[in-house]
Each structure stands twice: as structure tokens, then as C-alpha cells.
Amino acid sequence: MLRSFDLVLIGIMTAAAVVTYTIKHRADEKLAEVRRLESEIKLEKDTIELLRADWALLTQPNRLHRLVNVYNSELSLAPTEPTQLAMPKELPMMRSALPQPETTIEDIIAGKDSEVAAALKGVAAAKAKPAPKIPVPLPRGSIEAISTGSVNR
């Protein structure tokens, strides 16, 4: 006969087996996800290598020189002159280094500055004028087709 202790042990063993199976199943799912991510990473790396090879092909100096010669009349390209390059001290000031204006937002809102008050009057006068009439496009049938020259017929 089975004792109650044997039944408890069978229950514990069954629970342990269920927990073990659950952990193994989760580990297999994680392993499958890792393999999927590794394959995606490999695909992305292969794509990057392919794009770098394409970029190297497209930026070959001989190819670019031929294209410049072919399209020189349309592009009117010229070599860069040394005087066209700017030194760092010739660049404009950074926004943080710009001097701050003397007029504050509060002064503008209050209209204390005469120039600001005149500008606000001009804005009010511009708002009072009627808006210009918005042009309406012509119906499609009345315009001739525009030839872009990009398609050979």
C-alpha cells in the first residue's frame, strides 16, 4: 500500500519535472531567439559590406572623371580654388557667443520700445489689408504635356 509520504514524494517529483520542463522550454525559446538575432545581425553586416562595395565602386576617381567629362556642359563644374576654403576663424559666431539684445520679451509685449511699437503698428496695418487672391490651378486637360527628356521614345 502507498503511504501518504509516498504520495507527497510523487507529487513533488511531478512538480519538479514540470518546473524542469518549463525551464528547458524557455531556454530553447531564448536560444532560438538568439539564433534569429544572430542571423539578422549577419544579414545586416552583409548588407553593410555590400553597400560599402557599391560606394567604393561609385566613388572611383576614374568613373567620376568620366561622368564629369560627359556632363560638364550641363553641370559647369570647376575645380575648388584654395581661396574658397574657409578658416575656422572666418566662420560665423556660434549662437551661444552672439551678443544678447537689449530689448527683452517683456519690453516687446509691453510696447516700451518706439521701434517695436512702430513695427507692431505695421503688423496691425498689414493684417487690416485684404489677403491677396490665391491662384487656382488650371484644369488638367488644358495644359500640354511637359517634356522632361528623361524617357526615350
Distance between CA 35 and CA 10 in Å, rounded?
Answer: 37
Q: Can you give the residue ranges of every domain in the chain?
A: 4-67
- pLDDT, tens digit, for every residue of 38-94? 999 999 999 999 999 999 999 999 999 898 888 888 888 788 887 778 887 888 888
Angstrom distance (rounded) from CA 109 to CA 120: 10
For the cut 60, the answer to whether the pLDDT of residue 146 exceeds it is no
| pLDDT 10s digits, 97-111 | 777 777 777 776 676
* pLDDT over 90 percentage in the chain: 37
Report the alpha-carbon distance of residue 146 to residue 149 in Å, rounded.
9
CA 117 to chain centre: 41
Phi, psi of 67 (to 5 degrees): -65, -40
The three grid cell numbers given for residue 149, joined into one nine-digit string = 527628356
**Which pTM was predicted?**
0.41
